[in-house]
Chains A and B, each alone.
Chain A
Amino acid sequence: MLIYSARRLLLFFPSLLGVTIIIFGLVRMVPGDIAEILAFDAGTERGAVVDENIRRIRAELGLDKPITIQYLGWIKDGLSGNFGFSYWEKRPVAEIIRERFPRSLELAALTLVIAVVWAVPLGVISAVRQNTWADYLVRVLSISGLSLPLFLTGILILYVLVRFFAWLPPLDFRDFTDQPLENLQQLIWPALAQAIYISAPITRLTRSQMLDVIREDYVRTARAKGLSERIVVYRHAFRNALLPVVTFIGWWGGRLLGGIVIMEIIFGVPGMGTSLIAAVSHRDYPTVQAMVLLMALVFLLLNLFIDLLYGLLDPRIRYA
């Protein structure tokens, strides 16, 4: 296990390094001079003031230094929690992230909980009752779920809420620590929309895993021993089918980050996603850099965690 973990960790750091280089390089690839773009986006007219501004922005971003120094400086600042200054929101990026990251995290967690609570049991039922009406219903539902793009599910739910319940996304967001009930009322809908979307593949995978496992010899043995069907399904089959499902859910947890951006926009949740979109459309590069890096970091850490968990749960992986 130790060797396996070490080998997996060795893969993590080069990936992280590569990710930082790509993010850093991307922003340097912007056509034109970033300092100039930023200065003009600030809305001033060209003239002495602007030239002065451009010089100041250039110095602030460290653009007057060699590129390797810039990169190392960026990494060093990042490690000490300094992510630069947002030109659009006119405050440190670290502050924006501290305020908004927990909200997005909460939305992601809520989504996963809702999805798992119904997707896994549906998959099990569908497999245990293969080729009955219940199975067909679950399969048709999950295929349809797959075909509805995430933002459509979101808009559909928003429409139903607006049209039939006169519910509008509230203008002022309440944090969970302040008013937990109001907070949940706000986040439950985007979480639900996204849960509908990701539960389809989870159900399909649970079903196919269960179908594989149910045909195994040890399940037949368990039945032959005279164990009740319940114990056979839950203790012998389900536990063994669960492993790929767990990793798959973790994998989805990472991909949720993209979906959360869309959900936050539709339901007006002031999280990381709304900030990122605003930053991208206003070419607020320090914010874009920091947020993309943070999301990639979460994604990489999650993948690392899943692989380590996999190794822990399934000894075969370690020796492969």
Chain B
Amino acid sequence: MTEQRVTAAPAATATALEGDTLLAQAVSGARFLAKSQPLGVIGLFIVVVLCAVALFAPWLAHYGPKITAFDTYQPPSAAHWFGTDHLGRDIFSRVVWGARLSLYVGLASVGVGVTLGWVWGLVSGYFGGWFDSVSQRLVDILMGFPPIILALALMAVLGQSVNNVVLALIVLLMPTAARTMRAAVLSIREMTYVESAQAVGCSHWRVIFVHLAPNTLGTYIVLVTVNIAYAIVVEAALSFLGLGSPPDEPSWGGMLTAATESLERAPWIAFFPGLAISLVVFGMNLLGDALRDLTDAKLRGTTGAE
């Protein structure tokens, strides 16, 4: 896998290495990406914009996300670009702050959930035996719930808060990540370099984290990108149902709950947060597809169309 990723760098990058400036490398890398994965670049652009908006929310938003100082149900205008909602909050400001909340939920839950699942899958797949059997049954059990239903049940117990949504998502993400990583480990466990590492006397943990883990990095990266979009959607769905983030938090999903009551009178309340969610998910899907094509050796050299 490692070797493949190195050779994945195209000839253009190789010449850039001789030129030796970081900028030249970046430019040629970007040129390669734009040529081989145009849709992925669009996805990357959307994701970068999302990160920027989340990072600079305090400067971009005109008002705080929870300020209710304005007339209710104002249509979009120069003062309120996206209008105001049923409580007189500035929707533009809430959509901007919502980027921060979405990104936080996505990164925190996937960062913890997929990483724990990664380690779980590595250990389970490498050792096999009773530990593997028991942990796979546990995965079976957690995957025995319809995902949204499990999240709802967890929220019923934990109570409404942004961090509890993150916790519920971690429980949701961990088993699937563990199963995917285990499958990846099973196929590379029998490779000769693993055998030789064992032969020269590496400890089990050294084999797992120095030899196996780096070779599953491609799968890990794909899991992360795909699941960030998933986590953002689940957070929005839970908040939309009134059981995720508390109503005053600027969650895009939560903003839609109130909007359904006044769809006819004030469609803009639903339109902008809805647009934000679909753009972000669209961008992340494109990026995830592109990354999968880049890391999957079988697809390399094709357009990814098949």
Contacts of A148 on B, CB cut-off 8 Å?
278, 281
Pick the contact of B157: A26, A257, A296 (CB < 8 A): A26
Residues A26-48 near B (CB distance < 8 A): 26-27, 29-31
Determine whether the beta carbon of B153 is less than 8 Å from that of A288.
yes
How many angstroms between the C-alpha atoms of A242 and B274 in the bound complex?
35
Tell whether A221 is near chain B: CB-to-CB under 8 Å: no
Most buried by A among B149, B150, B259, B306: B149
Contacts of B157 on A, CB cut-off 8 Å?
26-27, 29-30
How many angstroms between the C-alpha atoms of A143 and B43 in the bound complex?
12
Tell whether A205 is near chain B: CB-to-CB under 8 Å: no
Determine whether the beta carbon of B146 is less than 8 Å from that of A296.
yes
Cβ-closest chain B residue relative to A150: B237
How many angstroms between the C-alpha atoms of A159 and B278 in the bound complex?
17
Tell whether B233 is near chain A: CB-to-CB under 8 Å: yes
How many angstroms between the C-alpha atoms of A146 and B233 in the bound complex?
11
Contacts of B270 on A, CB cut-off 8 Å?
155, 159
Tell whether B199 is near chain A: CB-to-CB under 8 Å: no
Tell whether A83 is near chain B: CB-to-CB under 8 Å: no
Contacts of A245 on B, CB cut-off 8 Å?
none
How many angstroms between the C-alpha atoms of A144 and B146 in the bound complex?
24
Pick the contact of A262: B147, B159, B240, B274 (CB < 8 A): B240
Tell whether B241 is near chain A: CB-to-CB under 8 Å: yes
Contacts of B153 on A, CB cut-off 8 Å?
23, 26, 280, 288, 292
Tell whether A55 is near chain B: CB-to-CB under 8 Å: no
Determine whether the beta carbon of A155 is less than 8 Å from that of B256.
yes
Min distance, Cβ B179 to any Cβ of chain A, angstroms: 14
Cβ-closest chain B residue relative to A254: B146
How many angstroms between the C-alpha atoms of A231 and B134 in the bound complex?
48
How many angstroms between the C-alpha atoms of A200 and B293 in the bound complex?
19
Min distance, Cβ B160 to any Cβ of chain A, angstroms: 9
Min distance, Cβ A32 to any Cβ of chain B, angstroms: 10
Contacts of B146 on A, CB cut-off 8 Å?
254-255, 257-258, 295-296, 299
Determine whether the beta carbon of A15 is less than 8 Å from that of B137.
yes
Residues A152-206 near B (CB distance < 8 A): 152, 155-156, 158-159, 162-163
Cβ-closest chain B residue relative to A146: B285
Determine whether the beta carbon of A281 is less than 8 Å from that of B242.
yes
Cβ-closest chain B residue relative to A211: B306
Given A131-B305, A257-B149, A258-B148: A147 touches B243 (CB 8 Å cut-off): no
Determine whether the beta carbon of B260 is less than 8 Å from that of A258.
no
Min distance, Cβ A291 to any Cβ of chain B, angstroms: 8
Determine whether the beta carbon of A295 is less than 8 Å from that of B149.
yes
Contacts of A265 on B, CB cut-off 8 Å?
241
Contacts of A300 on B, CB cut-off 8 Å?
144
Given A149-B281, A211-B306, A262-B241: A292 touches B145 (CB 8 Å cut-off): yes
Tell whether B152 is near chain A: CB-to-CB under 8 Å: yes
How many angstroms between the C-alpha atoms of A185 and B90 in the bound complex?
37
Tell whether B141 is near chain A: CB-to-CB under 8 Å: yes
Query: What total of A-B pairs shows CB separation below 8 Å?
Result: 135
Determine whether the beta carbon of A277 is less than 8 Å from that of B141.
no
Given A152-B277, A155-B260, A262-B237: A15 touches B149 (CB 8 Å cut-off): no
Per-residue interface assignment for chain A, residues 252 to 292, with 1 indicating a CB less than 8 Å from any chain B CB and 0 otherwise: 00110111011001100000000011011101010010001
Min distance, Cβ A202 to any Cβ of chain B, angstroms: 16
Contacts of A94 on B, CB cut-off 8 Å?
none
Contacts of A259 on B, CB cut-off 8 Å?
148
How many angstroms between the C-alpha atoms of A146 and B226 in the bound complex?
12
Determine whether the beta carbon of A147 is less than 8 Å from that of B281.
yes
Interface of A (DSSP majority class): helix
Contacts of B53 on A, CB cut-off 8 Å?
none
Contacts of B306 on A, CB cut-off 8 Å?
208, 211
Given A149-B278, A281-B242, A292-B149: A15 touches B144 (CB 8 Å cut-off): yes
Contacts of B137 on A, CB cut-off 8 Å?
14-15, 18
How many angstroms between the C-alpha atoms of A277 and B281 in the bound complex?
25
Pick the contact of A19: B144, B240, B253, B282 (CB < 8 A): B144
Pick the contact of A151: B156, B159, B253, B264 (CB < 8 A): B253
Determine whether the beta carbon of B278 is less than 8 Å from that of A152.
yes
Given A26-B157, A152-B278, A283-B156: A299 touches B263 (CB 8 Å cut-off): no
How many angstroms between the C-alpha atoms of A131 and B155 in the bound complex?
46
Contacts of B19 on A, CB cut-off 8 Å?
none
How many angstroms between the C-alpha atoms of A18 and B144 in the bound complex?
9
How many angstroms between the C-alpha atoms of A152 and B273 in the bound complex?
10
How many angstroms between the C-alpha atoms of A19 and B267 in the bound complex?
42
Determine whether the beta carbon of A277 is less than 8 Å from that of B242.
yes
How many angstroms between the C-alpha atoms of A144 and B278 in the bound complex?
9
Contacts of A159 on B, CB cut-off 8 Å?
263-264, 267, 270
How many angstroms between the C-alpha atoms of A276 and B243 in the bound complex?
11
Tell whether B165 is near chain A: CB-to-CB under 8 Å: no
Other A-B pairs, 5, CB within 8 Å; known A18-B144, A303-B144: A15-B140, A152-B277, A155-B270, A279-B156, A280-B153
Q: Could you list which residues of chain A lie within 8 angstroms of chain B, going by C-beta atoms?
A: 11, 14-16, 18-19, 22-23, 26-27, 29-31, 130-131, 143-144, 146-152, 155-156, 158-159, 162-163, 208, 211, 254-255, 257-259, 261-262, 265-266, 276-277, 279-281, 283, 285, 288, 292, 295-296, 299-300, 303
Q: Could you list which residues of chain B lie within 8 angstroms of chain A, going by C-beta atoms?
A: 137-138, 140-142, 144-150, 152-157, 159, 233, 236-237, 240-243, 253, 256, 259-260, 263-264, 267, 270, 274, 277-278, 281-282, 285-286, 305-306
What are 11 A-B pairs with beta-carbon distances under 8 A?
A: A14-B137, A15-B137, A15-B140, A18-B137, A18-B144, A22-B141, A146-B285, A151-B237, A155-B260, A162-B264, A257-B149
